[in-house]
Chain A
Amino acid sequence: MGGYAAYIWSSYGVVVAVLAVMLVSSILGVRARERELSALEERVGPRRQRRQQSGLKDAHHDA
């Protein structure tokens, strides 16, 4: 590499490192959020459904 190997390889190293960090952090970020969402849906989902059903019953009473 004509005496410039250190500069050239560290350039490519930096590029690979930054690209890898961006990929890993993006994928980990999505996974963590999707886990959080499904946990939340499990907790909130049934309660909301119940509320909606009772809301329907109320509507029938009104009628």
Chain B
Amino acid sequence: MNWFHWLANPARFMRFAARLQPWIMALGLLTGAAGLYFGLFASPADYQQGETVRIMYVHVPSAWMAMFIYVVMAAAAGSFLIWKHPLADVAAQAAAPVGAGFTLMALITGALWGQPMWGTWWVWDARLTSVLILFFLYLGYIALVNAFDDPERGSKAGAILLLVGVVNIPIIKFSVDWWNTLHQPASVARMDGPSVDPSMLLPLLLMAGAFKLYFLYLLIVRMRGELTARRIRLLRLSDIA
């Protein structure tokens, strides 16, 4: 916890993050390259899905990221509302467009898999619809945060929206168990362990790792942007005063 407090200082955090940044990018590129190699070349076709299983190596990790980033943002929103820590709010706002991007990737790659395998780009079933709602939650948050003249009020309203919207995350996760959907049930995060063959689990997990690192890198870049924007705002205010 002490270490956590030490990092809570924005300037110190940014210095620390800047030192980590090249390592994160290098590790991310390496993991991503390995994931692409195993996903596209060194793994077998599925006995049911055929070669389209390769779409899963980007679709599933994007969908995981879509949910993961939302949970990170909701946790940040909670700590912003409770402890009023500005860095938490900066992190949530910096992460939002990246979360929306990964959700969009999950939706589009899902459609590109659905057309050849299900015979349709889209169905209004529980899993697909709840992910579409997640996408709109991201967009709604971005719009809400920027809708106030007073950025402090925007941050607060946005944080509340994030916390209310977090109810959608278990709905997405369990939608395939609770309702009859076209989408297949979980095959990795299961109580009895993954049911995916190791040759396919490897590219899946590599891509998931690469996406996480990519997100971390973007988060640092965007947090620096958001902190700079805040300093500009502060300087403008003091200029007027």
A contacts, CB < 8 Å to B = 1-5, 7-8, 10-12, 14-15, 18-19, 21-23, 25-27, 29-30, 33-34, 36-37, 40-41, 44, 47-48
Contact = CB atoms under 8 A, between A and B. Distances in A.
A53 to B, nearest CB: 16
Given A11-B59, A15-B105, A27-B221, 6 more contacts: A1-B54, A2-B52, A14-B109, A33-B225, A36-B232, A44-B239
Of residues A14, A25, A26, A34, which shows the largest number of chain B Cβ atoms within 10 Å of its Cβ?
A26
Contacts of B224: 30
B113 interface: yes
B147 interface: no
Interface residues of B, number: 36
B88 interface: no
Contacts of B183: none
B10 interface: no
B55 A37 contact: no
Contact of B225 (A21, A26, A47, A48): A26
Nearest to A1: B51
Contact of B101 (A10, A22, A37, A40): A22
5 contacts: A4-B52, A8-B55, A11-B55, A30-B228, A36-B228
Contact of A4 (B116, B235, B238): B116
Interface in B222-238: 222, 224-225, 228-229, 231-232, 235-236, 238
A54 to B, nearest CB: 15
